Structure 1
Amino acid sequence: MTPAARLYQSLVRADRSDQDVDQQARTGRNGLLQIAANTLQATGDQVVNAKTVLPWALTAVGAPAAVLGLLVPVRESGSMLPQAAMSPVLQRSAHRRSFWLVGAAGQALATAGMALAVATLTGWAAGVAVVALLAVFSLSRSLNSLAGKDVLGRTVPKGERGQINGLSTVLSGAVAITLGLALRLVGGDEVGVGVLAALLGAAALAWVLALLVFAAVREPAGEPVAAADQEGWVSASWRLLREDAPFRRFVWARGLLLVSALSPPFVVSLAAQEGGGGLAGLGPFVIAQGVAGLVGGRWFGRLADRSSQALMTRSALAASLLVAVFLALHLLPATRGAWWLYPVTYLLLALAHTGVRVARKTYVVDMAGEDRRTTYVAVSNTAIGVLLLVVGAVSSALALLGAGVALGFLAVLGLVGAWVAAILPDVSRPAA
């Protein structure tokens, strides 16, 4: 057995009785390379974060609030909405690795451009430049999302994919904690423009390194789909959602699970209204994200390989109940404004979101056959991009009545999502 296979098998637990030595060596090598590339990508994501670092950077350079409000929609929807249209292009290729490399290069260039914009521009100019580059970043990321899951499905068997996602989350979480502590110790409550620009530059370098690592993955050739055999992506997407009931239920469940993604900013808003609530400065936000990944990544990865459907259900239920408890404590005079309430809630929500993310990524790869994996990922992400805009718009409108009202809406949504996830088929175990 090769050293890479031994290292991989010490990190990833699975039943390999049906794999010969050569198969174990190939899986081990490809698995380690994808763990490393995904970790480098996730490390960059900790910096190009539309909820923490980017709004902090634009505030530091005097960008208007109207621009700040575009960051999350552009970052999240921009990487999801184009995927159904991109899917036919990928399906016409026997190899998907090259698309991942193009996406990584695009993210590296966009992030380097953001670093330059933050370092040299101010006000509206800086805001517009960063949002435009974030749109390029998100479009590039859609390629990584599509191609990465397909390559993972081709190179790593069931029972191991969730652990790869989990290990990458753990390692990027450790980096985030280190980064957050450094920001807190060096910058305190204020982080200078120069430091933020340097962080963005380092994130761009992380994607360059990820590109070099992922280029070494050995992906088996798949059967390309001829252009003449493909219908239009809009009609194909609608037909898939209409005819494939298990997939349609997964999309609905994933859309209803947005409680863990959209709740944290409202918790931070309530903390700010109470005078900070222990969340002053950029560092603690980054640390909380890192702790969630470090604590939950590997554990959730193993749980996802056992049953990604069960993990989705429990994580969504936990997020909804957590929001409900938070709202109750926020309304009680004895705990309202308590220094521990807001950072602890933010951390636990980040942990629940880690569970949801690892579970849904593993689920969609496991449920799709070889011929439908790219289509499933693309159509589900495009549909979620639309649902994200709808749910985000509704929660933002409700927030005009108060952040607590928006949180209540998201908690109810999450409970419905947990129920829908509970009736999904379990696809984590190989068919007998």
Structure 2
Amino acid sequence: MTASEWWYSKLIRRSRDAEQRMPKGLRDKVASNGLRQITAGALQSSGDQAVNASTVLPWVLASLGAPAALTGLLVPIRESLSMLPQALLTPLVVRVKHRKWIFVVGALVQAGAVAVMAFIAALGSGLAAGVGILVALAIFALGRCLCSIASKDVQGRTIPKGERGQLNGISTTVAGIVAITLGLAIRAFVGAELAAAHLAWLLAAGAALWVGVAVIYAGVREPASEEAPEAQSTEVAPAKPFHGLSQAVQLLREDARFRQFVGVRGLLLVSSLSPPFIVTLSIQSGASSLAGLGGFIIASGLAALIGGRLFGRLADRSSRKVMSIGAGVASAIILSAVIVATLAEAGSASAFQSDASWWVNLFYITVYFALTLMHTGVRIGRKTYVVDMAEGDTRTTYVAVSNTAMGIILLVVGGVSALLATVHVSWALLLLAAMGLVGVFAGAKLPDVSRS
């Protein structure tokens, strides 16, 4: 047994029957390919923590003296530009026989964008620096767009069903460890202001991580696009030439199963959009935002650390169930938090009105942890589902079109929830909870495409 085989077997509960159905040339490379994808995914997740649009980048803008209004643009730019262009880019991607090179280019684009952010953080200030960070973030998101299109396709070509969810889970676990470390560092520096120079070094480290991602991923042994690692399922339609946005609309109109998946994925936004509102509720309820900041980051890291391995294995059994259960539990958590917050505002929760603000911190950090844990499961479940649902170029098209559709849905739902939050944050949370409950029933009707 080679070292790669030994390590891979220690990390992954292998699906030997699925591996045996792969061509011999691919079967022999499962372990080495898997380890490279695990390592690249771990470095990518660590890099994401250094360029987190919800935590690190707001601090960067604040330290540079950029207008506060720019902070509100960080997450929309990061999320929408990484998804919206995918349907338009797919015609270019499907012409490339080895999709790993698309991922490598995307990783290098992200490395360059983060390096520019580090340069701005070290030398810039004011409005110009803030705008520069946003432009660099937009370029970063476009690089991430390329990685998103390619990574699931490469994984589908090189890793059999029954092992893909675990790969996603391990990368998530590593991201959790990095987040915990970062959160503890922030707690340690609470007594002293974090200077822009410190954040510049953090961003520079993120750029180096992305270079490492590109180097490691380049070593993946991927078959050419016309080769398939598994026999095509009779339920999967053969790949058709894909030419852009009009074909994306046609795919959504004609492919009922894919349209159902996109609809369910849209309803599952409950776990991704609600955590920031929980942070807002905590501040409105009297929590110390400075003392709680590190706590929220640590909670996010713990959720990823625990959920990565747990949900990775469960997703290989039934990714559909993982998505549905995660959305249902997230909705229940939100409803409970809204009830407690409403009682606190009405003066019925005396603990929240005492001087012991740490009770407030503890409650909302616990809620944030539980929501982030459920989001970890939902995210791993839907990633595994779309990879298992199709083969070959059909998978590439599914990933691109679903992400483009989600970019649009994200902007709409995010806009509506933000509008409701101007009335009260609880109304936005109730909308998201209602969507999640509908998503539970809709997700239960999805066909199970994973290896039970």
TM, length-normalised to structure 1: 0.95
Name the structure 2 match of 1:3. Answer: 3
Q: 2:261 maps to what in 1?
A: 250
Q: What are the within-5 Å matches in structure 2 for residues 6-405 of structure 1?
A: 6-17=6-17, 19=19, 24-188=27-191, 190-223=193-226, 230=241, 232-277=243-288, 280=291, 282-332=293-343, 333-334=348-349, 336=352, 338-405=360-427
Give the Cα–Cα distance (whole angstroms) in 2 for the partners of residues 44 and 285 of structure 1. 19
SS in 2 for 1:424: coil
Displacement, 1:93? 1.4
| Residues 271-298 of structure 1: CA deviation (Å, up to 9, x unaligned) | 1223325763542232122111101101
Q: Are 1:165 and 1:297, in contact at CA under 8 Å, matched by a contact in 2?
A: yes
**Aligned-pair CA distance for 1:146:** 0.5
Moved more, 114-123 or 147-156: 114-123
Could you say which residue in structure 2 is the equivalent of 1:408? Answer: 430
Provide the rounded CA distance (Å) in 2 between the counterparts of 1:344 and 1:231: 45
| 1:132-161 Cα distance to aligned partner (Å, 9 max, x none) | 110000000000001000000000000000
Equivalent position amino acid for 2:387 in 1:
V
Q: Which moved more, 1:330-339 or 1:346-355?
A: 330-339
Task: Go from structure 1 to structure 2 and tell me whether the alpha carbon gap of 1:277 and 1:348 turns closer, same or farther (over 3 Å shift).
Answer: farther
CA distance in structure 1 between the aligned counterparts of 2:59 and 2:154, rounded to whole angstroms? 35
State the distance in 1 between where 2:19 and 2:167 align.
18
Alignment size in residue pairs: 426
- Give 5+ residue unaligned stretches, structure 2: 228-239, 354-359
Is residue 56–residue 282 contact of structure 1 (8 Å, CA) maintained in 2?
no
Aligned to 1:417: 439
Q: 1:287 to 1:189 in 2, by over 3 A?
A: farther
- In structure 2, the CA distance between the partners of 1:230 and 1:17, relative to structure 1 (3 Å rule), is closer
Distance in 2 (CA, whole Å) between partners of 1:16 and 1:223 is 24
Which AA in structure 1 matches 2:437?
Answer: L
Matched residue SS, 2:415: helix
Deviation of 1:343 after TM superposition, in Å, equals 0.8
CA contact (8 A) 2:265 2:382 kept: yes
Q: 5+ residue gaps in structure 1?
A: none
User: 2:173 and 2:352 mapped to 1: Cα distance?
Assistant: 33
Contact 1:83 1:382 survives alignment (8 Å) = yes
Could you tell me which amino acid in structure 1 is paired with residue 338 of structure 2? L
What letter corresponds to residue 304 of structure 1 in structure 2? A
By how many angstroms is 1:231 displaced? 5.4
Q: Is the 8 A contact 1:189 1:281 kept in 2?
A: no
Q: Aligned with 1:57: secondary structure? A: helix
Residues in 2 aligned to 1:18 and 1:280: alpha-carbon distance in whole angstroms: 49
| CA RMSD, Structure 1 to Structure 2 (Å) | 1.8
Counterpart CA distance in 1 for 2:352 and 2:92 is 53
Instruction: Quote the offset at 1:35 in angstroms.
Output: 0.2
Cα distance in 1 for residues equivalent to 2:147 and 2:219? 16
1:70 to partner: Cα distance: 0.7
Q: Secondary structure at the match of 1:111?
A: helix
Task: Give the TM-score normalised by the residue count of structure 2.
Answer: 0.91
Greater Cα offset, 94-103 or 6-15: 6-15
Q: Distance in 2 between matches of 1:131 and 1:309?
A: 36
Secondary structure in 1 matching 2:392: coil
- Is the Cα contact below 8 Å between 2:156 and 2:391 reproduced in 1? no
Q: Deviations over 1:226-260 (max 9, x none)?
A: xxx84541111011100111110110111111111
In 1, Cα distance between the equivalents of 2:294 and 2:314? Answer: 30
